[in-house]
Amino acid sequence: MADGNPWDGLTVEEHEFQFNPQAAFPGFADVRARLAPLNDAARATLGQPEEVAYGDGPLHRLDIFRAAGDGPRPVHVFYHGGYWRAQDKANYAFLAGVLVPLGITTVIANYDLCPAVTLDEVTASAVAGFGWVADHVEEIGGDAERITLSGHSAGAHLGAAILADAGLAEKPAGLRGAVLTSGIFDPRPAIGTSVNAELGLTEEIAARNDMQARPPRRRAEICLMAGTREPVHWVAQTWRYYEMLRREGHEPLLHLLAGHDHFDILEDYLRPDGLTLDVILRQSGLR
């Protein structure tokens, strides 16, 4: 580790395996194929979501699936993965299919993607999307005291950015809890992967978006998760973010989900006895 980075000394091939999940798990598309009919089923059961714009960009959109029930409902916001350069909210309606019947209004967020923009703008758009939810939570029938979020992979990084944003911390409606799964909290190692051809990361951009150096500005219940089958250097990102939170006086939870890889860990949302669902329900005040 000549420069003090944990990934120093890896060969090019090892670095790609450790920090490009699609290289580590080439069967990643199988998970998407399993979830696709669940997305269709959720929309068939719940109806098409209400799509709202939180900005001027074509990806500045939120899908809102409202939960029925008496009084304001808990609200959960989800940020998808895709290494800041892929995926779409339409592929995650299955989350609403799980959460809405349990009484949780579910918001699936889109945000700007590389290479059309830099990671700075990706992060800013995710923060803006959450800001819209915080500002309009009562209009969508939500409870300002029970807003939670979760994010997977790059979406976990964006969730950490939301926690760290000073402007959001000043809003009356804040974040009660966050579940951050299989996150890449420090973008620097992505520079050494083939994915950077699309990301266009520089050391300066990566440093500005390093969430291991940006603690939350507001107290929230934070739960970190990773899969036991994920590469060790990828899981170490979650561990280092956990350590930073502890140093900053937070009390995060950390769970390794046995048998899960980087992609099928999303299927834990679907298990009635799954840890992901249990944490979201507890943070939402429903358990």
Whole-number pLDDT of residue 2? 45
Mean pLDDT by 10 residues, the chain (287 residues): 79 98 97 97 98 98 96 98 98 98 98 98 98 98 98 98 97 95 98 98 98 96 98 98 98 98 98 97 97
Interacting residues of 272 by C-beta distance below 8 A, sequence separation 6+: none
Neighbours of 21 (CB within 10 A): 23
Whole-number pLDDT of residue 1? 42
Q: Buried (b) or exposed (e) across 255-265, using 16+ Cβ within 10 A?
A: bebeebbbbbb
Whole-number pLDDT of residue 36? 97
Domain boundaries, the chain: 12-283
d(CA 50, CA 250): 35
d(CA 124, CA 128): 6
Closest CA relative to residue 81, chosen from 14, 13, 25: 25
Amino acid at 57: G
State both tokens at 199: 């990301």
Interacting residues of 230 by C-beta distance below 8 A, sequence separation 6+: 21, 24, 182, 260, 261, 262, 265
Determine the topology of domain 12-283 in CATH. Rossmann fold (3.40.50)
d(CA 131, CA 133): 5
Supply the angle between the helices 119-136 and 154-164 in degrees, to the nearest 10. Answer: 60
Closest CA relative to residue 7, chosen from 224, 234, 198: 234
